[in-house]
Structure 1
């Protein structure tokens, strides 16, 4: 139950970030340039050509880091644990065509007909 509450709180906080700040990153995600990583942060699957995309992506990651740190302190766990836990849910929301990185460090793109990328450690298998 503790795991479920931590995921819910982390993901709700991540999606509470302003929509305006996520606009450039959302376009870059749809293009497969920016993607979700297993650790709960955004990363660059391809080098963005726009400074605006880089700055918006970094701004989102800074907010996520603060949220993970704050939540970790209140739950008595590490920020990394919160990030990886949030990453499980965020990876499950990767849309077709978007890039993502699992813990092996390789970038992939979700193809049509493929299930959302959810690592085994996220499901308890």
Structure 2
């Protein structure tokens, strides 16, 4: 079980980058429109016209990958989401937002 969780943990950085949306995602993070949440998903910090669609797309892709990882490793979706959230918060650049205890804070 521990090896499966570790395997999933090492695969998470790949999931968080999402190359197809990288430029738009990076720009949205830079401008403070979106931030990482501890549940492994992206959240809206402040809205702009294109932000809800970006968040919806990124989160749908993440969830599909999380489900795939959970099934492949015999662990729950919640476990993968928690691992992804932890990794996302750790990887968040200084000056970008993370959601902690219900509040958006700059890292």
| Alignment TM-score, normalising by the size of structure 2 | 0.86
Residues 3-14 of structure 1: pairs in structure 2 closer than 5 A: 3-14=5-16
- Look up the match of 2:19: 18
1:105 and 1:85 map into 2 onto residues whose CA distance is: 19
* 1:36 aligned counterpart, secondary structure: strand
Superposition RMSD on alpha carbons, in Å? Answer: 1.6
- Look up the match of 2:55: 57
Greater RCO, 1 or 2 (C-alpha within 8 Å, sep 6+): 2
Q: Which has the higher helix share?
A: 2
State the 1:70 CA deviation. Answer: 0.8
Matched residues, number: 105
2:69 and 2:30 map into 1 onto residues whose CA distance is: 29
State the 1:29 CA deviation. Answer: 0.7
* 1:101 aligned counterpart, secondary structure: strand
State the 1:33 CA deviation. Answer: 1.7
1:82 and 1:69 map into 2 onto residues whose CA distance is: 8
2:67 and 2:73 map into 1 onto residues whose CA distance is: 10
The 10-residue stretch of structure 1 (69-78 or 4-13) with the greater mean CA deviation from structure 2: 4-13
1:40 and 1:67 map into 2 onto residues whose CA distance is: 11
1:32 and 1:43 map into 2 onto residues whose CA distance is: 11
1:91 and 1:77 map into 2 onto residues whose CA distance is: 21
| Alignment TM-score, normalising by the size of structure 1 | 0.75
- Indicate conservation of the 8 Å contact 1:14/1:67, yes or no: no
The correspondence for 2:72, drawn from 67, 71, 74, is 74
Residue ranges of structure 1 left out of the alignment (5+ in a row): 111-125
